Amino acid sequence: MSVREVIEAAARQLNRPEMVSKLLGPEAQPRRGTIILVRGRNILHGKGLDEIVHPGDEVCLFPPAGGG
Amino acid sequence: MANGYMGKVLRVDLTEGRITTEDLDMDRARAFLGGRGLATSYLYKEVPADVDPLSPENKLIFVTGPLTGTTAPTGGRYMVVTKGPLTGTVACSNSGGFFGPELKKAGYDMIIIEGKSAKPVYLLVTEDAQELRDASELWGADTHTTTDRLLQETGLKRARVACIGPAGEKLVKVACIINDKHRAAGRTGVGAVMGSKNLKAIVAHGSAKVEPASGDFRDVVKTKVEKIKADPVTGEGLPKLGTKVLDNIINANGLYPTRNFQTGVFPATNEVCGEALVEKGYLVRNSACFACPIGCGRVVELPNGLKGEGPEYETGWAFGANCGVSDLIAVTEANFLCNELGLDTISAGATIACLMELYERGLVPDEDLGKGPRPVFGSGEAIVYYTRQMALREGIGDKLAEGSLRLATAYGHPEYAMVVKGQEMPAYDPRGAQGHGLGYATSNRGGCHVRCYMISPEILGVPQKLDPQTTEGKAEWVKTFQDLTAVIDSSGLCLFTSFALDAQDYCDLINAATGYGLSVDEMMQIGERVWNLERMFNLKAGIDPSQDTLPKRLLAEAMPEGPNQGAVVKLEEMLPAYYQVRGWTDKGEPTGEKLQALGLGS
């Protein structure tokens, strides 16, 4: 599955349709500051939402965050 | 004055017991803006850079910016500037809360503390009175007791207090200054400088108005507040989870320094993260500083009845993952102790982490611990016990009080101190973010994440996402972040606004307050001027450019696990480019040409 498909599947399973709009902006790309990691690496440095997720991979979804 | 300033400086000679008021040097204010820059310019002129930081010849400057005390979003910051005893560098510690605005309401932009009082005193600053009063009865009191008693003694219930606890009194080199009980001018030992002068506290109270230059100031503020509230970081992430929203993010990215930077992944992050603070029911509500629409502060109550604010991300990390501790109650208790006794949480936690590594390597004999618990990684008991020991200089606490580098050196192994220029590095392992490593190495006050928060682009993707493992182009980014941060620190605003605001936004606010009519380039040049002046002070203080480096662990020992497995910091690829971008010699010294261009040429 691609990361995009994982997000959509997770939103359905958790019954949280707003997950998709929170993580992905109007162009269906990660919103600024959204952090999506596959195997610890940010998808923006790979194939983006088309990055393929294999069984056993850890996918991390984080909203925009900041701190000190 | 209708330009954001009050136009007055209070000069306090503690040796003579003399207090005078002088006009603010407005040429200096124009060149350095305020806050960090302005006070550093006074320090540079008035204090020989080779001064002993804990001698009466050092000066301690409390300073605000032109936006402090206005309605500008987060306009509540003030800074404490001095020569830092932990590092021997220039020290500028920034704090929020309400003390800074109150200082301006009392009619002052800045207070310069000189000399040393023969006995403990506190300084009262109001519009009508500026006086030194006996503080002998308060000496030894923690910061909360001190604050309560001073508000009672002065009868000024709405006054604001900045004070030291026992740590500052005992010249602990990682002592801080606490204001409003829960806010800290934390780093570099500024609390020890205050203690060395026998100055226990400053009480400020007033009702003067801070007047901006432009009639459009309110409208400008409104647009920036809207931008901050609409931004997902400042409008949602920080208010909901505080800075501890970062624990899981930084851990999942594999740069969460664990067990004294031995690795970048902490398996028990779920126990001590920001979400845990909420899910375990310890978070009561968030709290905000003066004029702050973000509200990242955490008001917390533990099951054992202890209450306070925090822990923040850095504190939670310093006593948590960095000490291998997964007990959130112990971490929070250590945080409360730091606030009450007056310790910098980052340096305190990191120094205990260093002790833990030294102990586990068999380098600290058991007899040095007295009755204390074994300082092993994971011990919640140890982090609470040794925090108190450190603040009071009791037992091995006397060595801890000197900071991790002097501690590790005392046991023959300075390489286990995770410091830059003698100051403990904060909660990001730069083997996972190359640019952030360059920022650490070149920071003017030693190990510091806020001088140049490259985590924002490299990990968080703000303002854009950079690959954290590349080195190309990072020098330019570091310089820009350092210069912009210096502007923000000089303006009186909080750095967290930079997640939502850009350089033009700051320029709009500064111009509306001061009437300076700066372009963005002119504003950024102010930041560059501040950075170069700090560098000049440090060079004169004997801080050689060879100290623009990182511990050997980060340069030569590959990250052992996690997403950054195998990585080291490639500093040698970035540092020469940084010096070039700064317009310095290849040895890291500002050229005469650069200093002239910035108006710093002698």
Question: Which among B233, B248, B563 has the least Cβ separation from residue A66?
Answer: B233
Nearest to A33 among B449, B460, B496 (CB): B460
Burial-class residue B176 by CB neighbours within 10 Å (0-12, 13-18, 19+).
Answer: buried
Which of B158, B46, B17 shows the shortest CA–CA distance to B99?
Answer: B158
Cβ within 8 Å, pair A66-B253: no
pLDDT at B602: 60
Written as six digits, the tokens of B496 are 């967290």
Residue range B298-309: mean pLDDT, rounded: 94
Do the strands B110-114 and B8-13 form a parallel or antiparallel pair, or are they unpaired?
Answer: parallel
| pLDDT tens-digit readout, B499-528 | 999 999 999 999 999 999 999 999 999 999
Residue of A nearest to B297 (CA): A67
Q: By a Cβ cutoff of 8 Å, what residues of chain B touch chain A?
A: 231-234, 236-238, 241-246, 248-249, 252-254, 296, 312-314, 449-450, 453, 456, 459-465, 467, 495-496, 499, 562-564
Place of tokens 């498909």: A5
pLDDT bucket at B601, cuts 50 / 70 / 90: confident
**Range B243-423: architecture per CATH:** Orthogonal Bundle (1.10)
* Residue B25 confidence class, pLDDT cut points 50, 70, 90: very high
Domains B8-204 and B243-423 share a fold: no
Angle at which helices B380-392 and B345-360 cross, to 10°: 120
Chain A residues touching B496 at Cβ < 8 A? 66-68
- Residue contact A63–B467, C-beta within 8 A: no
Residues recorded for chain A: 68
CA distances from B394 to A25, B68, B167, B196, B400 (A): 56, 39, 11, 18, 9
Q: Check A32 against B462: CB less than 8 A apart.
A: yes
CATH architecture of B428-499+519-597: Orthogonal Bundle (1.10)
Is the pLDDT at A31 greater than 90? The verdict is no
Ranges of beta strands (E only) in B292-450 are: 297-301, 307-309, 419-420, 423-424
Whether residue B62 has pLDDT greater than 80: yes
**Quick one: pLDDT at residue A28?**
74
List pLDDT tens digits, range B523-575.
999 999 999 999 999 999 999 999 999 999 999 999 999 999 999 999 999 99
CATH superfamily of the B8-204 domain = Aldehyde ferredoxin oxidoreductase, N-terminal domain (3.60.9.10)
**Record: contact A68-B449, CB cut-off 8 A:** yes
Asked if the C-beta of A46 comes within 8 angstroms of chain B's C-beta atoms, the answer is no
Rounded to the nearest integer, the mean pLDDT of chain B is 97
Q: For residue B561, what is the nearest residue in chain A, using CA coordinates?
A: A40
Contact A33 B232 (CB under 8 A): yes
Q: Which residues contact B468 (CB under 8 A, 6 or more apart)?
A: B253, B255, B432, B433, B434, B435, B436, B458, B459
Interchain contact, B314 vs A37, CB within 8 Å: no
Residue-level length of chain B: 602
CA nearest B251 in A: which residue?
A40
CB atoms A64 and B253 under 8 Å:
no
DSSP assignment, residue B175? B
Res A27: pLDDT: 75
A55–chain B Cβ distance below 8 A for any pair = no
Mean pLDDT, rounded, for B391-402: 98
Tell me the helix, strand and coil percentages in chain B, rounded to 5: 45, 15, 40
Distance from CA of A17 to the nearest CA of B (A): 18
**Chain-centre distance for alpha carbon B128:** 32
- A50 at the B interface (CB within 8 A)? no
User: The pTM is what?
Assistant: 0.97
Q: Which of A24, A32, A37 to mutate to test the interface with B (most CBs of B within 10 A)?
A: A32
In whole angstroms, how far apart are CA B27 and each of B24, B519, B526, B533, B599? 9, 18, 13, 16, 12
**A63:B236 CB<8 A:** yes
- The structural domains of chain B, with segments of one domain joined by +, span 8-204, 243-423, 428-499+519-597
Tell me if B110 sits within 8 A of B64, measured CB to CB.
Answer: yes
Of B420, B464, B459, B433, nearest to B552 by C-alpha is: B420
Interface test with B, best of A29, A39, A45, A57 (most B CBs within 10 A): A45
Residue carrying structure tokens 């002088």: B22
- For residues B533 and B73, what is the distance between their CA atoms, to the nearest angstrom? 28
Percent of the residues in chain B that have a pLDDT greater than 90, as a whole number: 97
Q: Per-residue confidence at B241, pLDDT binned at 50, 70, 90?
A: confident
Mutate which: B238, B240, B249, B266, vs A, most A CBs within 10 A: B249
Could you say which of A39, A44, A65 has the minimum Cβ distance to residue B249?
Answer: A65
Where is average pLDDT lowest: B165-179, B234-248, B449-463, B582-596?
A: B234-248
Q: Enumerate the residues of chain A whose CB falls inside 8 A of the CB of residue B253.
A: 35, 37, 40, 42
Span B482-490, average pLDDT: 98
Chain A residues near residue B495 by CB distance under 8 angstroms: 68
A40 at the B interface (CB within 8 A)?
yes
Q: pLDDT tens digits for B269-295?
A: 999 999 999 999 999 999 999 999 999
Q: Residue A25 pLDDT more than 70?
A: yes
Alpha carbon of A1: minimum distance to chain B alpha carbons (Å): 21
Alpha-carbon gap: A57 to the closest alpha carbon of chain B (Å): 12
Residues of B in contact with A35 (CB under 8 A): 249, 253, 459-461
Domains of chain A: 3-62 (3.10.20.30)
